[in-house]
């Protein structure tokens, strides 16, 4: 009797496990705690003017460039900068400040963007412990914009989705 019950239970368990297995055939998605990231991906990866290595403009880079994602390098900053025409603007610059820009506060960090309009870095940043005021500008400084309050995250595109992209404005 005992043995029979055990046998039924085991069969049920096996059936359930089979079902779950079928549903979870796909690899865990980025951000899933079960996502296994190759240590070989944990390398430096920074944008520079003129480069064209990046991709996925407008998407949240940190969806994949993080501890539980497949992207090359764990980004501390990732943003796509658009021009006044709404298209990615080549070679933008991102400046981080500790106090509101324009009040004499010095630039703490200046990050050059690539030819595809993306600015990204794996360098340590104070986020989220410390917030930073941000300015984006064109390489020649004639286009510019800034966030009216400091950000605690360098995952800019997480909030700045299509339709609300980080966009440069003409200064004169």
Contacting positions for ligand HEC (CB under 6 A): 45, 53-57, 59, 61, 63-65, 70-72, 77-80, 94, 118, 120, 134, 136, 145-148, 151, 153-156, 158-160, 166-167
Q: Tell me the C-alpha distance between 27 and 34, whole Å.
A: 9
Nearer to ligand HEC, 78 or 89 (CB): 78
Dihedral of the alpha carbons of 47, 51, 53, 56, in degrees to the nearest 10: 70
Looking up tokens 């992209």 gives: 165
Nearer to ligand HEC, 4 or 164 (CB): 164
Burial class (CB in 10 A: 0-12, 13-18, 19+), 94: buried
Nearer to ligand HEC, 9 or 74 (CB): 74
Q: What's the closest the beta carbon of residue 149 comes to ligand HEC, in angstroms?
A: 7
């Amino acid at each position: 009797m005992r043995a029979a019950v055990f046998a039924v239970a085991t069969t049920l368990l096996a059936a359930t496990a089979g079902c779950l297995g079928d549903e979870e055939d796909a690899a865990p998605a980025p951000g899933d705690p079960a996502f296994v990231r190759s240590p070989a991906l944990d390398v430096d990866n920074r944008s520079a003017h003129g480069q064209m290595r990046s991709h996925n403009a407008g998407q949240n880079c940190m969806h994949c460039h993080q501890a539980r994602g497949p992207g090359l390098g764990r980004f501390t900053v990732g943003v796509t900068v658009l021009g006044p025409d709404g298209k990615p603007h080549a070679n933008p610059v991102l400046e981080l400040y500790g106090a509101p820009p324009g009040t004499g506060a010095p630039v703490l960090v200046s990050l050059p963007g690539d030819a595809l309009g993306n600015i990204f870095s794996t360098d340590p940043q104070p986020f989220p412990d410390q917030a930073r005021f941000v300015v984006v500008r064109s390489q020649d400084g004639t286009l510019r914009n800034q966030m009216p309050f400091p950000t605690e995250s360098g995952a800019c595109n997480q909030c700045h989705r299509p339709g609300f992209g980080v966009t440069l404005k003409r200064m004169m």
